[in-house]
Structures are given as structure tokens and as C-alpha cells.
């Protein structure tokens, strides 16, 4: 079973959430920038949330 996220990983997710909230307070300069920011933010969230599986020895294959 994958491990839970660490406190530091949760901190990163919290900072990403804060970044999203702060970004929404900026005046828009392009009609698609919010969607683009959201997509990039989701990529970052996926990276953090994948860590429990990616670095779990039960799921990670050894390098050849």
C-alpha cells in the first residue's frame, strides 16, 4: 500500500492552493490565462500526489 503524504508534501499542496487563490486576485491580461494557470497547477499537484507511489519500494522497480 502506498504511504500517506508527508507533512512537507502537504505544505507544498497548501502553497499551491495559496498560489491559485492569489492568482485569481490578479487583474486578467489574457482571456485564457486562468485556464492555463489551472492546468499547470494541476500538473504540479499531480507530481506531489504521485510521490507516495513513486517512491514506495513496494511499487518502485529497481533500476537495471
Distances (CA, A) of 59 to 1, 27, 55: 8, 44, 8
3-state secondary structure of 58: coil
Query: Residue 53 has what pLDDT?
Result: 83
User: What are the sequence ranges of the domains in the chain?
Assistant: 7-54
Distances (CA, A) of 48 to 28, 42, 55: 28, 10, 11
Q: Name the grid cell of 40.
A: 499547470
Distance CA 40, CA 9 (A): 18
Put simply, whether the predicted model's pTM sits higher than 0.75 gets the answer yes
Give me the tens of pLDDT residue by residue for the chain, a chain 64 residues long: 678 999 999 999 999 999 999 999 999 999 999 999 999 999 999 999 999 887 666 666 666 6
Amino acid at each position: 500500500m502506498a504511504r500517506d503524504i508527508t507533512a512537507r508534501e502537504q505544505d507544498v499542496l497548501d502553497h499551491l492552493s495559496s498560489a491559485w487563490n492569489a492568482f485569481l486576485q490578479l487583474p486578467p491580461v489574457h482571456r485564457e490565462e486562468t485556464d492555463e494557470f489551472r492546468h499547470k497547477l494541476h500538473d504540479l499537484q499531480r507530481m506531489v500526489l504521485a510521490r507516495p507511489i513513486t517512491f514506495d519500494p513496494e511499487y518502485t522497480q529497481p533500476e537495471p
